[in-house]
Amino acid sequence: MSSTSHIRRRGLSAFATAAALSTLSWAVSVTGSMLLTGAGPAAAQATAQPFPNKPLQIIAPFSAGGDADLAARALANVLPRYLNGQQVLVVNRTGASGAIGSEMVAKATPDGYTLLLARVGSQAVLPALAPKLGYRWNDYTFLGLLELNPYVCMVRADSPHRTFDDLVNAVRKNPKKLTYSTAGFGTIHEMGPQMMFDVFKLGKDAAIQVPFKGGGDAAIAILSGQVDFGCGNLGPANPQIQAGKLRALMVTLPERYKDIPDVPTAREIGAEAMERIVGWSALFGPPNMSKEQVAFWSKVMAQVAKDPDWIRATEKIGSVPQIRSPADTATFVREQFETYERIGKTFGIVLNP
């Protein structure tokens, strides 16, 4: 069994069992109420329709073709199998680093028909670093983590920095000399280097940030030699890594990733704290969704976790399938928020999206 399969399947059986029991409890409760009131099946059918009975929408708060959009569409393509055949539409509500779409869902009716494709940037980084944001990290109903995006630090293939230790030592010996590319201030591309500076006691301004318009541009800047190094999600850089034009020095997953098996993990190089710097997608709902709705979506997510088409699509975009329960998702997101909140306070990072 591969390491990524082990990550994906760990705890899935217990998760599915808990979801099934919760849904069963809901069904028993409804049946008991029908008996007590004298309402039979026909009366119940006349007064209520099974959920869902109309199309649903998943709000992707970033533009088409990006990590959030691809994850949303991979999920939307298989969900009708578990939703009475109802269509699931992906709606891109972009702007303000994901804040516009995120705030829309935070204020939506909690009926289960409008959901959010949550991302690390819009659901952890922004709430931690933008005090004027119109929502908080926990202004949602957590339905489940979907995937992890391997996060790597990398250099050009001909760089003199052959290992992560080489890079750390070069930054230490040449303070404020080396440069690194990001997709903008406050993005996850910046958080990795900032965490590196913190873990290895290199100082706040150990290297110079050069911001670009997106993750793809940030990777191209490394490739072209405009900067010395950079960190970001593996997906946009993986073709160049596989072609031998970029060299990954470290990945923040707990275990080595199958596409780059020779690249050590953060834990292996003595920087376990950097494991918290990782891309991810999750499914959130508006606040105050009912326990019955959460149980319903828990059951659906447990089915999606075993869907071969969803697994294949998720791995194709360079992600690790990682569906978790609502409770585990809430814990994970809280830890993510606290990580970026601490980085923001340590390095004085304040955002105004």
| pLDDT tops 80 at residue 233 | yes
Give 65's pLDDT tier (boundaries 50, 70, 90). Answer: confident
| pLDDT tops 90 at residue 9 | no
| pLDDT tops 50 at residue 35 | no
| pLDDT tops 80 at residue 260 | yes
| pLDDT tops 90 at residue 160 | yes
**Mean predicted confidence (pLDDT) in 76-104:** 95
The structure's pTM equals 0.79
**Mean predicted confidence (pLDDT) in 100-120:** 97
**Mean predicted confidence (pLDDT) in 336-341:** 95
**Mean predicted confidence (pLDDT) in 335-340:** 95
Q: Where are the alpha helices (DSSP H) in 200-317?
A: 215-224, 234-242, 291-304, 308-316
Give the whole-angstrom CA distance, residue 256 versus residue 248: 12
R_g of the chain computed on alpha carbons: 22
SS3 content of the chain, % helix, strand, coil (to 5): 50, 15, 35
Find how far residue 211's CA is from the centre of its chain. Answer: 22
User: How, if at all, do strands 179-182 and 141-149 pair?
Assistant: unpaired
| pLDDT tops 50 at residue 32 | no
**Mean predicted confidence (pLDDT) in 78-88:** 97
Give 67's pLDDT tier (boundaries 50, 70, 90). Answer: confident
Give 5's pLDDT tier (boundaries 50, 70, 90). Answer: very low
> Half-sphere exposure (CA, 13 Å, Cβ side) for 171?
26
Residue 312 DSSP class: H
Q: Name residues whose C-beta falls within 8 Å of residue 94's C-beta, 6 or more positions apart in sequence.
A: 61, 62, 63, 100, 101
| pLDDT tops 60 at residue 4 | no
Of the candidates 142, 128, 132, the residue with the CA atom closest to the CA atom of residue 277: 128
| pLDDT tops 60 at residue 38 | no
- Residue 84 has a pLDDT of 93
Mean pLDDT score across all residues of the chain: 87
- Residue 28 has a pLDDT of 41
Structure confidence by residue, pLDDT tens digits, 289-327: 999 999 999 999 999 999 999 999 999 888 999 999 999
Would you state the structure tokens that stand for residue 183, as one six-digit string? 């997709």
Give 29's pLDDT tier (boundaries 50, 70, 90). Answer: very low
Provide, rounded to the nearest whole percent, the portion of the chain with pLDDT above 90: 71
- Residue 353 has a pLDDT of 67
Give 48's pLDDT tier (boundaries 50, 70, 90). Answer: low
Give 96's pLDDT tier (boundaries 50, 70, 90). Answer: confident
User: How, if at all, do strands 279-285 and 56-60 pair?
Assistant: unpaired
Least confident of 8-17, 159-168, 299-308: 8-17
Q: Name residues whose C-beta falls within 8 Å of residue 222's C-beta, 6 or more positions apart in sequence.
A: 154, 155, 156, 181, 229, 230, 237, 246
Pick 26 or 79 by higher pLDDT. 79
Least confident of 11-15, 69-73, 124-128, 171-175: 11-15
| pLDDT tops 80 at residue 42 | no
| Cα angle value 254/266/146 (rounded, 5°) | 40
- Where residue 62 falls (left for φ over 0; alpha for ψ -120 to 50; beta otherwise) is beta
**Mean predicted confidence (pLDDT) in 169-175:** 97
